Amino acid sequence: MSIDTGGTTRTDPIPDVKDPYALFADWFAEAKAKEINDPNAMYLSTTTADGFPSSRAVLMKDYDARGFVFYTNYESRKGAELLTNPRCALLFHWKSMERQVRIEGTAIPVMPDEADAYYASRPYGSRIGAWASSQSRPLDARATLVKRVAEVEADYPGEIVPRPPHWSGFRITPVRIEFWQAMPFRLHDRIVYEAGAGGWTTGRLYP
């Protein structure tokens, strides 16, 4: 008879750490060393005005004790939904490491100078694309987008491409962070942090 161990060889539980950002920093450093593609990819979940959820993968560009930052077109579906209802969720899933980090929090627009600095660091083509793409809205044909890119390139032929007013970032400020790690026999390890007036409280959850 075969025994389902859950497909993992991990035996060490998640360490007890008071600061969730310190634990995240350790896990993210390991992910950057081991994950083949986009260790900074995170799934962002938002909701429509009538409560329908929607999720998509975005790239985390920065994080600190204030939260997790990504950039987007504010007129896109995710941008519009966050500006209407800033409550959202993030999920990091590092499959090869058998780990997940789940985050619930509130999206706050980043400061303009922060968005300017990141936008200026992007490749020329990405900066052009931020102007050319009416993100999330209907597109009649790929040729229309290609034509629009050429028009924007003609407007900004040099390296200086200003940041569009509709393009910026959000910082997700967590109220809850859960770390999940696979363990044998599907007795997975879960530790949760919740923000309160006195700082973070922490505890473990059944798998």
Cα-to-chain-centroid distance, residue 93 = 11
195 contacts 21 by C-beta, under 8 angstroms: no
Distance CA 101, CA 120 (A): 30
Report, in angstroms and rounded to the nearest whole number, the Rg of the chain calculated over CA atoms: 20
Beta bridge partners of 89: 45, 104
103 contacts 45 by C-beta, under 8 angstroms: no
66 is catalytic: no
Q: Which of 56, 137, 186, 204 is catalytic?
A: 186
Distance CA 60, CA 27 (A): 14
The residues carrying an active-site annotation are 186
